[in-house]
Amino acid sequence: MQETDKIWMNGELVDWADAKVHVGTHALHYGSGVFEGIRCYETEKGPAVFRLRDHLERLENSAKVLYMDLPYAREELRQATHELIAANGLPSCYIRPVAYYGYGELGVATTGNPVDVVIMSFPWGAYLGEEGQRTGITTMVSTWERVGPNVIPHVAKATGIYLNSMLATTEARRAGYDEAIMLTRDGYVADGPGENIFVVKNGTLLTPPLSMSILPGITRDTVIHLARALGYMVEETLLIRTDLYLADEAFMVGTATEVAPIRAVDDREIGVGPITLELQQAYLDVVNGRDQRWSDWLDVVATSRTPAEV
Ligand code: PMP
């Protein structure tokens, strides 16, 4: 992780090295936190956070599912994010807000624990690599099932649920693949450890519905909008693993990953297709502020180098 100057911690900007937690922190023991992964891009108007309000809304939803009362309103967290980006002075960065049950009681119930909120911002390149974005990534269907809706709520971007993702990613990397794909208990395609999945078949985009144990991805939603605007049909439908093997094209999407072509699944070659590359380009144009039709999704940050603009 590349360090930056400041971290926003419970209402204050503190030095990177001072943003510490106690070892008795509830979330460290039980994974009782919620978080977001957001990107800020360098645009002509200055640094611009992509769909910041939507990410903060998902953070609120995640907190609600965990019975957690966030001590800051959405607008306060939005301002805090702006303040942090301006303080760290990076033209583009990854933003990681996390809210968690802090230090108080060590019982599994959360009573008696404060809710702490932290926001980090630091530079982070393409999650699955620049090369992967161009030539495609290799994937394997994980032996780990995606958690079911009554196991841990997948709708919440909760820290504890990422043990599921960590196991799948680690298994895939150890086996020599770039990324894992997780299936539900019934064998339907869910999502990747940190990405949603799309398949192209006969010119139509197919992606699992929200009920298939997926995180309601903001990139997924963005890509659905962009694909429809480009004239493609998009269907949210159940997919099985052979739909991946026999796809004309397949790709993964996520804030960290952006749009990454899947060039192989379980050693069945798919290759990198034109619709994937078209959507990848469309996505990069939108997030970098090169397509004015979607400029409402960009939350421009006022910094010392850019005029105040909200
Ligand atoms: N699924 C999972 C399990 C994820 O962790 C992520 C990353 N947040 C995604 C999908 C993609 O979501 P988003 O596009 O909002 O980053």
Question: Tens digit of pLDDT for each residue in 66-121?
Answer: 999 999 999 999 999 999 999 999 999 999 999 999 999 999 999 999 999 999 99
Query: Is any ligand 1 atom within 6 A of the Cβ of residue 159?
Result: no
CB 229 within 8 A of CB 264: no
- Is the pLDDT at 128 greater than 90? The verdict is no
**Any idea what DSSP says for residue 301?**
P
**Among 124, 114, 243, 128, CA closest to 187:** 243
Q: Is the pLDDT of residue 130 over 90?
A: no
pLDDT class for 307, splitting at 50, 70, 90? low
Q: For residue 253, how far is its CA from the centre of ligand 1 (angstroms)? A: 8
Which helix (H) or strand (E) element contains residue 220?
helix 218-229
For residue 305, pLDDT over 50 is answered with: yes
Distance CA 273, CA 202 (A): 12
Q: What secondary structure, in 3-state letters, does 102-136 show?
A: CCCCCCCCCCCCCEEEEEEEECCCCCCCHHHHHHC
Q: Is the pLDDT of residue 308 over 70?
A: no
Task: Judge if the beta carbon of residue 164 lies within 6 A of ligand 1.
Answer: no
The pLDDT > 90 percentage for the chain reads 94
Question: In this structure, which amino acid lies at residue 140?
Answer: M
* Average pLDDT, integer, range 143-162: 96
d(CA 115, CA 177): 38
Whether 58 is in the pocket of ligand 1, judged by its Cβ within 6 Å, is no
Rounded CA gap, 110 and 107, in Å? 7
Residues classed as catalytic? 157
pLDDT score, position 274: 98
- 255 C-alpha to ligand 1 centroid (Å): 7
> Count of CB atoms within 10 A of residue 225's CB?
16
Mean pLDDT calculated for residue range 281-307: 91
In the numeric block, which tokens belong to residue 225? 């909008």
Q: What is the mean pLDDT of residues 125-134?
A: 85
Map residue 298 onto helix, strand or coil.
Answer: strand
In this predicted model, what pLDDT tens digit does every residue of 31-45 receive, in sequence order?
999 999 999 999 999
Q: What is the pLDDT of residue 125?
A: 85
- The residue whose C-alpha atom lies closest to atom 12 belonging to ligand 1 is 217
Q: What is the pLDDT of residues 256-266, one digit of tens each?
A: 999 999 999 99
CA dihedral 184, 189, 195, 196 (to 10 degrees): -120
Q: Which DSSP state fits 242?
A: H
- CA distance linking residue 283 with residue 297, whole number of Å: 12
The residue whose CA has the least distance to atom 9 of ligand 1 is 195
Q: Which protein residue has the closest C-alpha to ligand 1 atom 6? A: 194
* pLDDT, averaged across the chain: 96
Give the residue, by CA position, lying nearest to ligand 1 atom 3: 194
Compute the distance from residue 151 Cα to the ligand 1 centre, in Å. Answer: 18
Q: Residues 118-125: what's their mean pLDDT?
A: 95
Backbone Cα Rg of the chain: 19
In tens, the pLDDT along 209-256 reads 999 999 999 999 999 999 999 999 999 999 999 999 999 999 999 999
Probe ligand 1: pick from 196, 252, 283, max atoms within 8 Å of CB?
Answer: 196
* Confidence (pLDDT) at 285: 98
Q: How high is the pLDDT of residue 306?
A: 56
Residue range 177-205: mean pLDDT, rounded: 98
pLDDT at residue 286 is higher than 90: yes
Residue 310 pLDDT: 43
**Ligand 1 and 217: CB distance under 6 A:** yes
Q: What is the spatial distance between Cα 163 and Cα 303, in angstroms, rounded to a whole number?
A: 37
